[in-house]
Chains A and B, each alone.
Chain A
Amino acid sequence: MRRFMKQLKNGMLVVSYCTACQKKIWPPYEHCPSCYRRTSTVAAGKFGKIVEFSKSWLEEEKVIVALIDMDGILMLGSVLEGRRIAVGEAVELIATGATPEGKIYFCFRTLDRFDSYTMNK
């Protein structure tokens, strides 16, 4: 969790990784929950897809909130409005970090066709 927070503060999303089990661990911790060996960290990647989404009207978080699946890593993030937002749509992580108060965030945008093409390349 310490390594995760350190990277997050630099704008990088990493998850724990067990080299023995070849498994990503999320939320991240220092050991693998299957074999209890010490984990390393790997970048989570940039792309994912929308599993579900909803609109928050709350003053402090007036955004589209979505459940994002980044290759098996599930998280609640915000998705920028403007492009097509729908279940199954591909998204790109464009900003992540932690505020000085310790509030962490994952911000995504939807991809247009060209972006998806580049992503698959």
Chain B
Amino acid sequence: MNRVAIVDYATTKFRKLTDKSVYELACEPAMEILRSSIIPANKIEGLLFSSCSNDLYTGAIASEMLDINPKITCRIDNLCNSGTVALSAAYSYISSGLCDSILVIGAELRNSPGSKLIWDVSRGQFTSPIYWASVFAKMHMREYGTTEEDMGVIAVKNRSLAKNNPNAMFNKSISLEEVLDSRKLVEPIKLLDCGALCSGAASVLLVSEDVARTLDVQPVWIDGIGQQTNCASVAHAIPGIFKNGSSKLAATHAYKMAKLNPSDIQVAEIHDAFTIMEIMAFEDLGFAKTGKGASYALDGEIAVNPRGGILGSGHPIGATGVAQVCEIVCQLRHEAGIRQVGTSNVGLVHNLAAAGTSATIMILRS
């Protein structure tokens, strides 16, 4: 199996409004990568497009717009988990030898249909993700004593980190009081406990080891991937969510593949569409023991969500996973400027979809 390296990355400014189409938005970070000419467009062998938009044939259209004639192109939709699923597909194409280089693009407009899963009738009238998130939060509070303050701390941390990310949607710190006093939405979730849907795009260039050796850039290697789909509905997701959820199983696969333990991770991007999700992820990823996620936010050793996570950066659904990978590559190449956290060389990306029914973990190393 060929090793796979990430050799370039780019992210647009995440914003509420754009007059661009999803195709045009997707080209923004892709053109930034292609302009730097690490590999000319006509040598790129694959293009994978991650999005939940209704627009069709996105892979072929983006390829035409960027003057790429890929051997392999397709669009990947896996709701919030789309970007990281596209990355693992790109890894598989390259490691199998079908392609030597793939451009992955994630792009989404704010009004994407990807925030709701209409198929899931077990959600009843409560189709928005905030309802299952509120159930998770209430269950975590009841079972482990997690408090609204514990969740608020996550929002304060990630908003503060986003200040140093010029592409983040939010660039102002908030206080714990502001989080706790923000508009009540669905108990115990308040406005500032939620990530905001937005428009944005991100792109990553992956190549085989043979190609990476010929390039004059620092490669970041994909050493581990774990992907797990447990189910699709809230009805099936909730039993056992704290014990054997998809994140926990995916993390086990990824650590095994990378031959690493949670304690080896130095920096991580974690899916935090709601504050409770980051607390649950600390436990699923083995950073904290089950039920102890809340205290990890205060005294954890691993730098988590240096770009500000979803809470600080915004959530362009199909682009989020790609943007998370961009950040970890940036951190592992020590190119993050004022938001650089130490001299990390091992990082992790965690992303999930639809009430944690599926999840992807990637372990990267420079």
Contacts and interface: CB of A to CB of B under 8 A. Distances in A.
B235 A54 contact: no
Interface string B300-320: 000000000000000000000
Nearest to A51: B238
Interface in A36-85: 51-58, 61, 65, 67, 73-78
Contacts of A58: 130, 185-186
Interface in B101-125: 119-125
Contacts of B130: 58
Contacts, number: 83
B350 interface: no
Give the interface size class of chain A.
Answer: 20 to 34
B126 A61 contact: yes
Nearest to A66: B135
Contacts of A78: 124-125
Interface string B31-55: 0000000000000000000000000
Contacts of B253: none
Given A54-B188, A55-B187, A56-B131, A67 B238 contact: yes
A76 B121 contact: no
Interface residues of B, number: 30
Most buried by B among A54, A57, A61: A54
A74 B186 contact: no
Contact of B235 (A1, A27, A61, A87): A27
Interface in B80-138: 119-127, 130-132, 134-135, 137-138
B186 A105 contact: no
Given A27-B119, A76-B123, A76-B124, A57 B187 contact: yes
Given A4-B121, A52-B142, A74 B239 contact: yes
B235 A52 contact: no
B121 A27 contact: yes
Contacts of B139: 52
A20 B122 CA distance: 24
Interface string B219-253: 00000000000000111101100000000000000
B184 interface: yes
B122 A76 contact: yes
Contacts of A57: 183-187
A27 B124 contact: no
Nearest to B184: A57
Nearest to B233: A27
7 contacts: A27-B120, A52-B135, A54-B186, A57-B185, A65-B135, A76-B132, A76-B135
The 3 closest A-B pairs by CB, nearest first: A74-B235, A105-B125, A76-B126
Interface of B: 119-127, 130-132, 134-135, 137-139, 142, 183-188, 233-236, 238-239
Interface of A: 1, 4, 26-28, 51-58, 61, 65, 67, 73-78, 87, 103-106
Given A54-B137, A54-B187, 9 more contacts: A26-B235, A28-B121, A65-B126, A74-B235, A74-B236, A76-B132, A77-B124, A87-B142, A103-B125
